[in-house]
Amino acid sequence: MGILEKMRLDGKAAFVTGGARGIGKSIATALAEAGADVAIVDLDIEEAQRTAEELRVLGRQAIAVKTDVTSPADVGAMMEEIIASFGKLDIAFCNAGICINAPASEMTYEQWSKVIDINLSGVFLTAQAAGKQMLKQGHGGSIITTASMSAHIVNIPQPQCSYNASKAGVIQLTKSLAVEWAEQGIRVNSISPGYIGTELILNSPALTSLIEQWNAMSPMRRMGRPDELQAIAVYLAGDASSFATGGDFIIDGAFTCV
């Protein structure tokens, strides 16, 4: 099998959490373009349905599933709906996340807990559900989590200790799951994006001055684009990456190098 064939995802079924917009939507689109059927998992069900409809235009099966990734009951129902629609699960992209910028001395416990619950516990619950289904199926699979360059550095000037801690936890969780499930053929990897110019970020007037500072600190002098994460996700999802597990792949325009 040639390398291009190994990059294809024909016949595979995937879910993407936080898939309605931004990075999640970009990855979901890439998986569908590579041949996978995709479940768009998001709290915003209306936007998720619009994204799923766009993927169906590509000729793939696509469904929208409303899910609170911090709720074990919701995640269980999510998996039931995905299996009912696709009959199996081969790829999981555990991506849903938030950031709250607040100084550590002023951050409330509720703010801390919300970030940790979504970014870390939500990744655990959805990756666990995917892993259990893949173990049941008995033919392996690929789980990809979204960490961040913020797991490797402390971002400035914005204060975001809860986000940084949650993303560092995602990387260690990813490695732990990779080791536990390696013999069963379930590969688990994380991607660590740098600053990515999603529509939400680029259209926020409150972030204009921050974006200018981030770009000034970046060796490439710009933010990344959501589509610049697509190739690594497709690679990790398919057979081309059959020996890649427990890895963290930094895509940040060399931001963490300086």
Instruction: Give me the active site residues, please.
Output: 148, 163, 167
- Asked whether 88 and 13 are in contact (CB, 8 A), the reply is yes
Residue 57: count other Cβ atoms within 10 Å of its Cβ: 9
> Sorting pLDDT into bands at 50, 70 and 90, what band is 159?
very high
Confidence at residue 206, expressed as pLDDT on a 0 to 100 scale? 85
What is the SS3 assignment for the chain? Answer: CCHHHHCCCCCCEEEEECCCCHHHHHHHHHHHHCCCEEEEEECCHHHHHHHHHHHHHCCCCEEEEECCCCCHHHHHHHHHHHHHHHCCCCEEEECCCCCCCCCCCCCCHHHHHHHHHHHHHHHHHHHHHHHHHHHHHCCCEEEEEECCHHHCCCCCCCCCHHHHHHHHHHHHHHHHHHHHHHHHCEEEEEEEECCECCHHHHCCHHHHHHHHHHHHHCCCCCCECHHHHHHHHHHHHCHHHCCCCCCEEEECCCHHHC
> Sorting pLDDT into bands at 50, 70 and 90, what band is 200?
confident
Confidence at residue 188, expressed as pLDDT on a 0 to 100 scale? 98
Confidence at residue 25, expressed as pLDDT on a 0 to 100 scale? 98
- Residue 171 confidence (pLDDT) above 90: yes
d(CA 112, CA 119): 11
Counting every residue written for the chain, the total comes to 258
The residue type at 216: A
Confidence at residue 5, expressed as pLDDT on a 0 to 100 scale? 92
- Asked whether 66 and 123 are in contact (CB, 8 A), the reply is no
- Residue 212 confidence (pLDDT) above 90: yes
In the chain, what percentage of residues exceed pLDDT 90? 97
Token pair recorded at residue 188: 């688990």
- Give 66-89 pLDDT, tens digit per residue: 999 999 999 999 999 999 999 999
